[in-house]
Structure 1
């Protein structure tokens, strides 16, 4: 094995190219101020792998710019240094609700007649103040009815989703926003040629806030509130924060707000918040991607530079007294039991941030941490892990765990605390500190390949007032921490001063059920335009030309000495590699295969224990995996290129010399059984996997093709070890992404020995798609919302349908400006989430499907279903909206680049569909010539009048079962039956 210091040196060289060393031996990191060609001053940091230029405009606006030409796109974030911490105590949820309203336009965007509309909006604002002050319930209802009436009148002068239409017309993706304690951040990813229009639109959007379509959007926020009530994970997290921060808003104000405050909003408060915090010296514009620095900053200055600076006074938030005892919290819900243990730390820019980061990696790094090796690898808990979070004022280090069958939460707690005690005693090997820093550097290498990840790092630096220099040298600072210093910190930090939160199964008596207020659908004015959008559409952008992949030349070919075909693509970015040995068979060919490769995770060899193996891989900076899907099996290896030969040798040793262990197998089976029981409490899995697969295939599906636990107990683990050992005897191929293909092939020749005659795969099971229609499959689940999906089997896959279906999905069912979203959420306030799409098959022999989804309060479900079915049978038509959707689709295709390893994986997907050439060119050319009549024809042929199976999950006491029966024969499904699980009483361990 190479000496660890050499490995670490390689990682450092890779991470920061051409680094200069200071006298102390650290990487030289220094902030410098320079001027660009326009005379704008900016800061840069030497040896910064992201190449940041940080500008500060005269009005105080921070502008973070970074260049990456991998694709002609720019990841954009507009960040405001204000979040739910700053909500007035009587208006919690305000920052988040304001985030929603910033999408509604200005006095220029989203209005037909601003002067008239404003009068109505002022009236609505006054009515909300009366509504808030009124204590009599009947009078409150009367005021709300008046708000509803005036809102309908106001909607005659508004244009719904006009901002979304314009952002979509740019070819933008990821148009969204999020709010947290200290930030509100608005996201878009745009084609690089649309920067001028984007900046014009965003500077208009942030010039003011207009609270139009207020009460309908408030209902959408209520639906989001309900989704939170249905998330046991969110409830556990909120209880943990409440215990950690009994005074600070971190624990006393949730981002979504309280039900009472959401019911009594103040438009005046929202305006005041916007005016106070949405000012340039409290904001940042972040642009990462294919940009020119000098021209970009000038364009930002010409738009956002016009905003006027205002003095911002951030609120003084309460300080917390030290926690000197254990605080216990409990939450209840239908999902599997779990526990968290949380310690309060210092925040960003404190010594705690560095020391807790190191402690976390020593304890749980996914490979060789104390929790990884002693709990997860030994299978003494179902799962355990940890993660730190650092905020402006404080941070927290959270440990979480879930119990095995028959294990109590307190037993899990004890086991986790024992690992922390090992850290406090220094019971970890000396090389671990260097290894975890090496691992963190490798993670940064991978992270900084993504424009989105880089932009997110800039957001965090801005929100937390961090100097970018400190971020760049953070890992070098970690190197200075000694083992003794970390141990001393652990002993002073991890005491009986934590918050333990028990997530127990049971009814939650704190659930707030919200009544359906009976909103009158507002007018969308789909065919109308503001004057702003008319001028906006006249702005011309230099068109982007699509770039297509010539797979034959992009994917290089070679082979090993034994004749295994090797496809490869060079990594031109860094010195990381990714190697995959691919077998075109999976659990459909042999359902024991998935069991066998999963078991391998817990085995040692005749040379190494399982723990020793994990450590050896971790020392090398190499990750490995062996996994099986229904159709394919992968043996994978990735990490530092220089260590590929050693990593492959170690992996092959494991495959060839794994030693079966009956105790490990028994625990593995117990874990599988517990995992199945836990899966039954996951509503997302029940709906999107169990019900959908049953609606497609009935009893004979890949999902249900599992081995019962009672049979798992009878399997000899030696059989599973032999299965993985002999896996190499089957036909296989290799994909390599990295540098030095000759070195990779040489490693395969040395370590990956196969027989001269490779075996054909066992025949795969066939699962036949059933005809859909007339069935309603219902699962009773303790939840506030109800969720439902519609599924109709379409015609078999045809390549020529892909263009029309892509355009249809943009126009009709996907995105904030789609027909479905506008009608069901914006106009009628019937759901937080609603979508519909024509889903293309994954395999040339499979069928396409029409799919739709609604997530809403149970008391709104009948109306929501009627609204969705009306749309699915009579597509509203708008020439303007069609042309915008067409333009958006074409621009997205033009800006799309398939590069790096994605070239190979996209080719794999095409081959499954029976194609070998990039089909995007045919799609682009077809969409260019399409008219709304073509879309209508596609809708009438493929969507209208389809027969749907309907899948529903909800609380039977709240769901209108008679309404469901109008959709077909209602069948209440047993969850064990859906997944083909044995009942717990049938399983003998």
Structure 2
């Protein structure tokens, strides 16, 4: 099932109804009043239980109740994004999003009247700076801005908003901006709703642009990260081709470098005052609450906001595309291609037809692209995905070439699949199967508060009637094969935009000088009057709940004695079954190779294509996956079809038939995957360099079979290995209903004979000692990224409480010490963090880690700042108390439920823990003091000796700043991954 498409289709939430029903349902909208006399709308047969309120001031409030955990997913959505940026101020909506976190005239200030004087001066200076054309005068104005900003920071209090949300126990505190939307996010404990409303209603009441120039520099670091992202460059070029007039293609959300460096605080205030009004906003809450009480609280908090008359700009209309439009972008990563067709937007007929077409083309199992391109391995990978916006949409097909394959060959193969669709060359049953697949996906989404809340805010942004979304899939099912083919013939013509992502130098990169910002004051010891009063508000305490794994996980056995652990699914009729072997590639290096190969072969009875289709008809997915120490044969989907699905999986397991041609292509695919992977900077840093920093020469990463070794393997050997797995000890985990029927299906289909074998001895990989080394890999990029790594003591369960609190206080989150110092005060990075990372095995060492990504010309400052923090932890008592409160509330609100009960227990057992240790952690943290945390820091972090992993452009590298950290050793990518670059020889 095509789970990676869930975002694009997140509005299609459905219940766990039988996927074979054809009963016509009513989706009438009903209007009624609650106990407070507040009117709301519901939709008949809406499985999400939405109540949609409209307050007197026009604010929309979406409420849906889910009591699985005592948490509420919150979104505050504004119908305003980069589409409405002034042409001379692109990036404004996004930058405004950042500034909304900086507080108001009440939040984030020690003395508003005094601070305001300086902020007004800064605003006027920015207007002069923007208008000034003389470079020297412009620089002088910036220096004056920097000077006055430092003075203004004497009265500002950094991160007060983040401190308040952290004190609630909120998670996921963030926001995003896109074309038509800006959305602010928090997931809060249910008992903290009133306090959350108090801070959010204040936050959106007034805009104050404090700490402006430091945050602007952080946004520019975000801009740099975009320049280092080839996918974003290809995407931007595609949009530019699709929309030569419309802001979708002409105004990027991040904005241009020129506009970012010449902002107008006046423009930002005007934008906020125009669009951040209640009749242009929505509050979305999904979680554990009572409707009547909650809407009363929301109305009291946001009902006081004044409605303003508002009209959105009328945006340009696009001409019809009559011939292919061709674009090229360049960068260091592997080559790829996209083909995009412009469609109608949300609420159009195009949305329904393109959604259906998309899933018939590629659903991860039995689509035309899946079967004809991916399963046959005629390309490295291919897929498609739709996007629907207010004014237009687009359907994008993407592909990556195999070794020796041109991008044009991939283009032709993709277009061939489109032609097959137009000719109706797909099975009649596919439409119903696709809709059933979408229903399964929506059922899973319905269980997730964040996914459901996302569906609601998308409905608001796109002016969608919720009843149309509820019945959307029923509408799809009415479309006939002939209607779909007719649509395809009219829609998919030579009216596409093709974008070639080629490997090479990008000559459009913008490099910016280091502005030399003076670090601003953070004033950690100060508090505004607002936060002082906020902290006095008492919420009814939320009591933590811990799991008794011994009773929560039930056990039974199959007739042949295999242990079956199970947890009942009390929510819907879906199941998840895993056959687990406690052995992996450490026990047999060929095991992961064999597991991957099984994806491309069939049996005497079923070809690979026929097998995929049979599973798809059943609404069942299967997978075989081998990790380092465990191998899984998995099956999930509709409970009613479990026996047939298991029968198919066992048919493949017992009767898999080796195919030499498929294996040769599989080896070619592995080779190309390695070549592509070594071009990805994230893979180089977080996989290649990190493994080298931990293990040196002897790592799992480097201990690989070379391509010539892979080519020499007889695929019959791999098939035999998979079949023989059944003769080893194994166990089963089942999550679902009707456990007896599931075990009966195992008794019938999962046959084992005789005494099961013990596992082969696993190979061990020992971590090296860290310290005094700088491992560097050259890469064509704008930023320089660094990881600091220090090997610590072996895992101890008793340290988990202190390390959890330490991470909250010191290194992770918007209000942490590291984030404040590196980004907020010094503007040295967009992203910076540090952590004490606990091992995942009881005998393995813990690690101290830190990360910073910055412009190459800020590297020395960033290194000095990070190393100073890692050796001198600031002690801020108020921040410690907030971190402690936050950690305790997160633990209190956490619920381990459903299948997570089993998987969490598996993780604990790997650590040598046989109970829910969160109870011990909770009680320990309650009694911890700043002195205790300092003691933990001094013992486990301070003075550690680091290996430093660096990736960046060698010609921009400041060697001096790195030499202070240790001996520099430059490592080639092929050496990191131990790739001997020999192409497979085709037979």
Output the CA distance in 1 between the equivalents of 2:945 and 2:660: 51
CA apart distance, 1:590: 0.4
Q: Secondary structure at the match of 1:957?
A: helix
Say if 2:167 is the partner of 1:166.
no
Corresponding residue for 2:745? 747
Output the CA distance in 1 between the equivalents of 2:45 and 2:709: 58
Q: Secondary structure at the match of 2:101?
A: coil
2:707/2:982 contact within 8 Å kept: no
Output the CA distance in 2 between the equivalents of 1:814 and 1:194: 22
Change (3 A) 1:944 1:19: closer
Corresponding residue for 1:123? 121
2:668/2:984 contact within 8 Å kept: no
Output the CA distance in 2 between the equivalents of 1:565 and 1:762: 21
Say if 2:15 is the partner of 1:15.
yes
Change (3 A) 1:301 1:19: farther
Q: Secondary structure at the match of 2:555?
A: strand
1:832-875 deviation per Cα after TM superposition (whole angstroms, max 9, x unaligned): 00000000000001000000000110110110010000000010
Output the CA distance in 2 between the equivalents of 1:978 and 1:349: 50
Q: What TM-score comes out, normalization by structure 1 length?
A: 0.98
Output the CA distance in 2 between the equivalents of 1:157 and 1:68: 42
2:773/2:967 contact within 8 Å kept: yes
Output the CA distance in 2 between the equivalents of 1:505 and 1:18: 48
Output the CA distance in 2 between the equivalents of 1:646 and 1:983: 44
Output the CA distance in 2 between the equivalents of 1:617 and 1:988: 32
For 1:567-716, what aligned pairs fall within 5 Å after superposition?
Answer: 567-716=565-714
CA apart distance, 1:974: 1.2
Output the CA distance in 2 between the equivalents of 1:374 and 1:20: 27
Change (3 A) 1:945 1:115: same
Corresponding residue for 1:53? 51
1:234-272 deviation per Cα after TM superposition (whole angstroms, max 9, x unaligned): 000000000000000000000000000001000000000
CA apart distance, 1:705: 2.4
Corresponding residue for 1:4? none
Q: Secondary structure at the match of 1:69?
A: coil
Corresponding residue for 2:304? 306
1:579/1:737 contact within 8 Å kept: yes
CA apart distance, 1:962: 2.2
Which of 873, 889, 894 in structure 1 is aligned with 2:887? 889
Output the CA distance in 2 between the equivalents of 1:14 and 1:954: 46
2:110/2:156 contact within 8 Å kept: yes
1:645/1:744 contact within 8 Å kept: yes
2:277/2:308 contact within 8 Å kept: yes
Output the CA distance in 2 between the equivalents of 1:259 and 1:420: 39
For 1:203-214, what aligned pairs fall within 5 Å after superposition?
Answer: 203-214=201-212
Corresponding residue for 1:373? 371
2:711/2:984 contact within 8 Å kept: no
Output the CA distance in 1 between the equivalents of 2:646 and 2:730: 16
Say if 2:111 is the partner of 1:110.
no
CA apart distance, 1:984: 4.1
Corresponding residue for 2:838? 840
Change (3 A) 1:251 1:576: same
Greater CA drift, 561-570 or 28-37: 28-37
Q: Secondary structure at the match of 1:95?
A: helix
Corresponding residue for 1:222? 220
Corresponding residue for 1:147? 145
Which of 777, 780, 801 in structure 2 is aligned with 1:779? 777
Q: Secondary structure at the match of 1:331?
A: strand
Corresponding residue for 1:456? 454
Corresponding residue for 1:908? 906
Which of 475, 478, 482 in structure 2 is aligned with 1:477? 475
Output the CA distance in 2 between the equivalents of 1:808 and 1:545: 23
Q: How many residues align?
A: 976
CA apart distance, 1:216: 0.0
2:150/2:518 contact within 8 Å kept: yes
Corresponding residue for 1:275? 273
Output the CA distance in 2 between the equivalents of 1:657 and 1:558: 28
CA apart distance, 1:63: 0.2
Say if 2:390 is the partner of 1:392.
yes
CA apart distance, 1:981: 1.2
Output the CA distance in 2 between the equivalents of 1:394 and 1:623: 33
Output the CA distance in 1 between the equivalents of 2:985 and 2:258: 47
Output the CA distance in 1 between the equivalents of 2:94 and 2:976: 38
1:14/1:575 contact within 8 Å kept: no
1:446-477 deviation per Cα after TM superposition (whole angstroms, max 9, x unaligned): 11110000000001100000000000000000
1:875-897 deviation per Cα after TM superposition (whole angstroms, max 9, x unaligned): 00111110000000000000000
2:73/2:285 contact within 8 Å kept: yes
1:945-967 deviation per Cα after TM superposition (whole angstroms, max 9, x unaligned): 00000000000011111221111
Output the CA distance in 2 between the equivalents of 1:34 and 1:503: 54
1:842/1:909 contact within 8 Å kept: yes
Corresponding residue for 1:546? 544
1:777/1:970 contact within 8 Å kept: yes
2:773/2:969 contact within 8 Å kept: yes
Q: Secondary structure at the match of 1:713?
A: helix
Which of 756, 775, 790 in structure 2 is aligned with 1:792? 790
Q: What TM-score comes out, normalization by structure 2 length?
A: 0.98
Which of 184, 187, 198 in structure 1 is aligned with 2:185? 187
Corresponding residue for 2:722? 724
Say if 2:136 is the partner of 1:138.
yes
Output the CA distance in 2 between the equivalents of 1:235 and 1:200: 40
RMSD over aligned Cα, in angstroms?
Answer: 1.4
Corresponding residue for 1:738? 736
Which of 860, 863, 869 in structure 1 is aligned with 2:861? 863
Change (3 A) 1:14 1:657: farther
For 1:235-274, what aligned pairs fall within 5 Å after superposition?
Answer: 235-274=233-272
Output the CA distance in 1 between the equivalents of 2:982 and 2:468: 53
1:347/1:394 contact within 8 Å kept: yes
Q: Secondary structure at the match of 2:142?
A: helix
Output the CA distance in 1 between the equivalents of 2:364 and 2:14: 23
Change (3 A) 1:588 1:310: same
Output the CA distance in 1 between the equivalents of 2:728 and 2:813: 44
For 1:343-422, what aligned pairs fall within 5 Å after superposition?
Answer: 343-422=341-420
CA apart distance, 1:15: 2.9
Corresponding residue for 2:819? 821
1:212-242 deviation per Cα after TM superposition (whole angstroms, max 9, x unaligned): 0000000000000000000000000000000
2:671/2:983 contact within 8 Å kept: no
Corresponding residue for 1:175? 173
For 1:282-301, what aligned pairs fall within 5 Å after superposition?
Answer: 282-301=280-299
Q: Secondary structure at the match of 2:901?
A: helix
1:850/1:943 contact within 8 Å kept: yes
2:31/2:40 contact within 8 Å kept: yes
For 1:430-579, what aligned pairs fall within 5 Å after superposition?
Answer: 430-579=428-577
1:17/1:47 contact within 8 Å kept: no
Q: Secondary structure at the match of 2:600?
A: coil
Q: Secondary structure at the match of 2:45?
A: coil
Corresponding residue for 2:4? none
1:500-554 deviation per Cα after TM superposition (whole angstroms, max 9, x unaligned): 0000000000000011100000000010000100000000000000000000000
Output the CA distance in 2 between the equivalents of 1:752 and 1:979: 39
2:786/2:948 contact within 8 Å kept: yes
CA apart distance, 1:439: 0.4
1:16/1:48 contact within 8 Å kept: no
CA apart distance, 1:756: 2.4
Output the CA distance in 2 between the equivalents of 1:273 and 1:465: 21
Which of 874, 877, 880 in structure 1 is aligned with 2:878? 880
Output the CA distance in 2 between the equivalents of 1:404 and 1:373: 16
Output the CA distance in 2 between the equivalents of 1:26 and 1:78: 35
1:19/1:28 contact within 8 Å kept: no
